[in-house]
A and B are shown apart, each in its own frame.
Chain A
Amino acid sequence: MNVIRAVGRLWLVPVTLVAWEIATRAAGQPFFPPPSATLARMGEMWLSGPPAHLLLTEQAMSDFGPSLARLFAGWALAAVLGVAAGVAIGCSPRLSGYLDPLIHLGRAVPPPLLVPFFLALLKLGTPAQLATIVFGIIWPILLNTIDGARTVDRQHLETARIFGFSTAQRLTRVIVPAAMPKIFAGLRLALSLALILLIVAEIFAGSGGLGYRLLSAQRTYLYADMWGCLVVLGLLGYLLNSAFLLLERRVLAWHRSARQTT
C-alpha cells in the first residue's frame, strides 16, 4: 500500500527527467547537457573507483570528504553555541534586553558578505569557511532556542521550584527538553542553510570540496561536471533533511504524541 502511494507521488520525477532529456538533446546546447550525460559523468567522476573503496574514486574522497566534514563541523559548532547562548538569553530577561538588538542586527547581515571579513581575520581555507557557516546558520538556532527557553510553561518551572531542582537539573531536565521542539525546528533550518553557506564558502574562500569543484568545472567549460555537482548537492540536501526528520521523530516522540492527545 505504502509502496503504491510512494510510486504515485514519485511519477513526476521520471517524467521530468525524460522531458529534460528530450529537450536538451533537441536543443544541442553545450551549456545544457542531457541528464544521461550528466549522470554518466557523475559515475565516472565519483563512482568508478575500486570495489574496496565502495567504488568511490579519489576524486569523490577529495570532493565530498572535506565538504561533509566542514558541513557537519559547522553545523555542530553552531548548534552547541546557539543552544547554549539561547538558553542563557532565554532564561535571563536582563541578558535578552541587552542582546536582542545585537542579535537582530547580526541576523540581518547577509552571511556571504562576511566572507571577505573572515578572510581578512582568519586563515584562508577551513577556518574562514567554518566561520562563514557558523555565522550564517546560528541565527535560527539561537532565536528558536531563546523563544523556546523563554516560553517554558509556568507550571513546569513552578514545579521545579517547589521540588527544589538544582540549576543544572532545571536546565537539563526542564528547560532544554521543553524548548526541544523549537530547537529542532531551528536545527533543521540551519542544516539546509549550512549546505548553501558551505558552497558559498568553498567558492570564495577555499580550495577543494564540492563548491570549489563546481566553480572550477564552470570555469573550464566542463558543463557535465558542473551539472553533476548541482545534482549531487540537491541529493545531499534531500538526504540530510530526511535523515534529520528521522532523528527528530525519535527524539520528539513525546511532543508529537502529547500534542495529539491534548
Chain B
Amino acid sequence: MLEITDLVHSYGSHRVLDGVSIRAAEGELVCVVGPSGCGKSTLLRSVAGLIRPTGGRVLIDGQPVERIPDNLAVVFQDYSRSLYPWMTAANNVALPLRRRGLDRRRRRDAAMAALDQVGLADAAEKYPWEMSGGMQQRVSIARALAYRPSLLLMDEPFGSVDAQTREDLEDLVLRVCAHHGMTTLLITHDIDESVYVGDRVIVLTRSPARVAADLPVDLGESRDQIATRQLDAFVRLRAEVGRLVRGGSPTPTVLEKH
C-alpha cells in the first residue's frame, strides 16, 4: 500500500534522510521511532508531498507521490495550530469534505459521525479554544477520519498532551484505525508508545536517518494499557527498541529483519 524506497533528503549540504525504505501493507499501523532531530518529520513531510525529497521514491497504492495525494490525511503534533480557531469543531471537521463532493447536509452528518467516534458528539459547536488539548487533538483525529483517507499520517500526535490523555488517545487511535482498516504511519520519539500502538516498529538511526531495524510487534490485536505493558513480549521489545534508538546494535533473538 505504502512503499518508500531509498528516500534521501538534504537541506543544502546537510543530509537528513539517507536512503530510508519502509513498506506498509493495507491496514497496517506502522510506528516510526527515532532519536529527536533524526529526520522523522522530514520523512513524514516527504510522504505527504509537502516537500519534494532530494532522491528516492514514495508510492501510495502504486502511485508515485508528486503532489499532495487526495487519499491522505495528516494529524499534526501541534493541534492548536492545526485546527482553525475561527471555526467550531464541527466546521473544522466538515470543511475538507467539500473535496469529497458532499453537499452541506451530508458534510455535516459525516462530521457529526466522526466527532461521535472520538467521543465528542457534545462538543460539535465548541470552538477549539474552548477545549482542552486532548479534546482538540480528538477533533483533529475526527477531521482525518471523516476525510476517509486510505493513508493516515500522524506526526507525534500525542506529544503535547498529559500522560492520562495520551493513553486515552492511544487507545482511540488503535480503535478507529482498526475499525476503518486505515493504513497508518505514526511517527513518535516515545519508545513505549511505538511498541504499544504499532503492528510494526521501524527504528531510525541518528541523523542522517537510515532504518536501523524493522521489528514486528507480536502482541495481538487487542491491547490494554495495563495488561499489555506487563507482558514479557512487550517488555523485551521495548528494551530492544530502546537499545536501538540509543544507537545499539540489534539483538539476534528479537530481530527479524525483513
Interface of A toward B, CB cutoff 8 Å: 153, 155-156, 158-159, 161-166, 169, 173-174, 177-178, 180, 254-255, 257-258, 260-262
Give the docked Cα–Cα distance between A161 and B143 (Å).
14
What B residues does A255 contact at CB under 8 A?
Answer: 85-86
Q: Is the CB of B68 within 8 A of A161?
A: yes
The listed residue with most A CB atoms (<10 A of its CB), out of B82, B85, B98, B147, is B85
- Per-residue CB contact flags for chain B residues 100-142 toward chain A (1 = under 8 Å, else 0) read 0000000000000000000000000001111000000000000
The closest CB in chain A to the CB of B99 belongs to: A164
List the B side residues contacting A159 at CB < 8 Å. Answer: 74, 76, 82, 84
Whether A158 pairs with B50 at a CB distance below 8 angstroms is yes
In the docked arrangement, what's the CA distance between A81 and B73, Å? 36
A153 adjacent to B81 (CB under 8 Å): yes
Measured between alpha carbons, how far is A166 from B96 in the docked complex, in Å? 10
Residues of the A chain whose Cβ atoms lie less than 8 Å from the Cβ of B33 = none
Cβ of B72 under 8 Å from chain A: yes
Interface contact A177-B50, CB-CB below 8 Å:
no
CB B128 to nearest CB in A, in angstroms, measures 7
What residues of chain B lie closer than 8 Å to A258, measured between beta carbons? Answer: 85, 127-129
**Which B residues are closer than 8 A to A by beta carbons?**
48, 50, 68, 70, 72-74, 76, 78, 80-82, 84-87, 95-96, 98-99, 127-130, 143, 147
Contact of A173 among B73, B84, B129 (CB under 8 A): B84
| Contact A180–B96 (Cβ < 8 Å) | no
- Residues of chain A within 8 A of B74, CB atoms compared: 158-159, 162
Query: Min CB distance, A147 to chain B, in Å?
Result: 18
Chain B's nearest CB lies how many Å from the CB of A255? 7
Residue of A whose beta carbon sits closest to that of B131 = A261
Pairs across A and B, CB under 8 Å, 27 listed: A153-B81, A156-B81, A156-B82, A156-B84, A158-B50, A159-B76, A161-B50, A162-B48, A162-B50, A162-B72, A162-B73, A163-B73, A163-B95, A163-B143, A164-B70, A164-B99, A169-B98, A178-B86, A180-B86, A254-B85, A254-B127, A254-B129, A255-B86, A258-B85, A258-B128, A261-B129, A262-B129
CA distance A129 to B68 in the complex (A): 50
**Top-8 shortest CB links A-B:** A163-B96, A258-B129, A155-B81, A177-B86, A258-B85, A254-B86, A261-B129, A164-B99
User: Closest approach, in angstroms, between the C-beta of A55 and any C-beta of chain B?
Assistant: 43
- Tell me how far the C-beta of A187 lies from the nearest C-beta in chain B, rounded to whole angstroms: 17
Beyond A159-B76, A177-B86, A257-B130, whether A169 also contacts B70 by CB under 8 A is no
Contact at A257–B84, with CB atoms within 8 Å? no
Nearest residue (CB) in B for A158 is B50
Residues of B within 8 A of A261 (CB): 129
Instruction: Note all chain B residues with C-beta closer than 8 A to A158.
Output: 50, 74, 76
- Chain A residues in 8 Å Cβ range of B96: 163-165
A-B contact sample (13 more), CB < 8 A, given A155-B81, A180-B86, A258-B128: A153-B81, A155-B82, A159-B74, A162-B50, A162-B73, A163-B95, A163-B99, A164-B70, A165-B95, A169-B98, A177-B84, A254-B86, A262-B129
Report yes or no: B127 in contact with A257, Cβ–Cβ below 8 A: yes
Shortest distance in angstroms between B167's beta carbon and chain A's nearest beta carbon?
24
Question: A162 and B86: CB pair below 8 A?
Answer: no
Q: For the complex, give the distance between the alpha carbons of A187 and B89 in Å.
A: 29
Instruction: Please indicate the chain B residues that have their CB under 8 angstroms from the CB of A260 in the complex.
Output: 129
Q: How far is the CA of A255 from the CA of B130 in the complex (A)?
A: 12
Q: Which residues of B are found within 8 Å of A163, using beta-carbon distances?
A: 73, 95-96, 99, 143, 147
B82: which A residues are within 8 A, CB to CB? 155-156, 159
> Which residues of chain A have C-beta atoms less than 8 A from B81's C-beta?
153, 155-156
